[in-house]
Amino acid sequence: MTPRFVEGNTVKLLENGTQYFPALIAAIDSACREIHLETYIFANDATAKSVVDALIRARNRQAGVRVMVDGFGARDFTEELGRDLIDAGCEVMVYRAEAPKMRFRRNRLRRLHRKLVVIDGRIAFVGGINIIDDLTDTEPGFPRHDYAVSVEGPVVADIHYAVRHLWRLVRWAYLQQRPEAPPEFHLDCHSCGTVSAAFLIRDNLRHRRDIENAYLDAMAAAQTEIIIACAYFLPGNRFRTALMTAARRGVAITLLLQSRGDHAVLRNAERMLYDALLPAGVRIVEYTAGFLHAKVGIADKRWVTVGSSNIDPFSLLLSREANVVIDDAGFAQILHERLCHTIDSGGREIRLEELKQRSWWSRLVNMAAYAFVRFAISVSRYGGKDYRE
């Protein structure tokens, strides 16, 4: 589906939790009517507790508070901080609560990976940042590096519709009956800026390829430069071909990928792709100053996407994801400067000579990991031809 761009928005870049959570809590504290929050991970740490406290304050002001977490990524939430929300009168739902581990079902792989917050239908937050401190569950001295945006303007109406629609779907699944819709109210989504933006989701029905196709269209149209920063990068054949085709026609392409990852098999499988990408002219930089959790892209310092979707089978084939796509040179310049700073200050470029010199053991590990991932995708029957080639 072609992105539906709307004019008249204001979009602000938020880098890491140090910028994101103060902005989020301030917006929650301004709420009068309604808050919808969706997240994959809702940790039990000081930062998450500060978000919960703000949500409870909003509920005490009689705002409707609805929180949806993933049943795998936040599987202990309802027994921890979620209990405080429920006791305060907030509504909490779990997307696909985890089944017993010994009972495997294919649909367990379909997760809620979106990170969305919509407040009073007026301001929305979209990105890759979960409700977790940058230093929780990381190595000492190696914080997460991630991005989100706050959005105001007409595009918020599309984001608001998406969160309310999913809330009704999941509630229906829980109650096995048609639920009442959250109270309707007039959205305050008037034009308030100059940015053109579109909101995209990935689901398993009408929007299976929307985010991936947006990337493919941007790569096909790019003339000068593409930068993609991605926590998990294991694209299918279409995406790889588009990337290498752009590089061969002279587009300067930089991939900023993880150096230290929390999924060893995926990380080793990714490195198998270097053998094709580097000779095609794609520049690869691994982030060494922390844990890269970003999911952003820029083309020609004009087209930008920021969101929750990685470029791997989990995000592109299975999960519910959400990205905002922005067509604005001013915003693109801001993100471009931040990415270049990140690359210069915390990145290590992988050279073709280095790749050729890696040990036979490293090559074997990469090949085995890549073969395993392809086999797993084939067994799941979700991948299709794009991930079998």
Q: pLDDT tens across 46-85, in order? A: 999 999 999 999 999 999 999 999 999 999 999 999 999 9
Quickly list DSSP for 207-226: TSSHHHHHHHHHHHH-SSEE
Write down the residue that tokens 């990408």 correspond to: 277
Give just the sign of the alpha carbon dihedral 330, 336, 337, 342. Answer: positive
Give the closest residue to 31 by CA, choosing from 12, 67, 66, 59.
59
pLDDT band (50, 70, 90) for residue 141: confident
For 364, phi then psi, to 5°, come to -65, -45
Write down the residue that tokens 């999941």 correspond to: 170
Tens-digit pLDDT profile for residues 6-52: 999 999 999 999 999 999 999 999 999 999 999 999 999 999 999 99
Contact 326, 332 (CB under 8 A): yes
Distances (CA, A) of 204 to 109, 316, 321: 12, 10, 10
Pairwise CA distance, residues 222 & 218, whole Å: 6
Q: Determine how many CB atoms are found less than 10 A away from the CB of residue 194.
A: 14
3-state secondary structure of 18: helix
Residue 282 tokens, joined: 């794609």
- Residues marked as catalytic: 113, 115, 120, 293, 295, 300
Contact 47, 21 (CB under 8 A): yes
pTM of the predicted model as reported, rounded to 2 decimal places? 0.94
Residue 331 tokens, joined: 């915003």
Tens-digit pLDDT profile for residues 155-214: 999 999 999 999 989 988 776 555 565 666 667 778 889 999 999 999 988 899 999 999
pLDDT for res 45? 97
- Domains annotated for the chain, with CATH where assigned, are 6-175 (3.30.870.10), 195-387 (3.30.870.10)
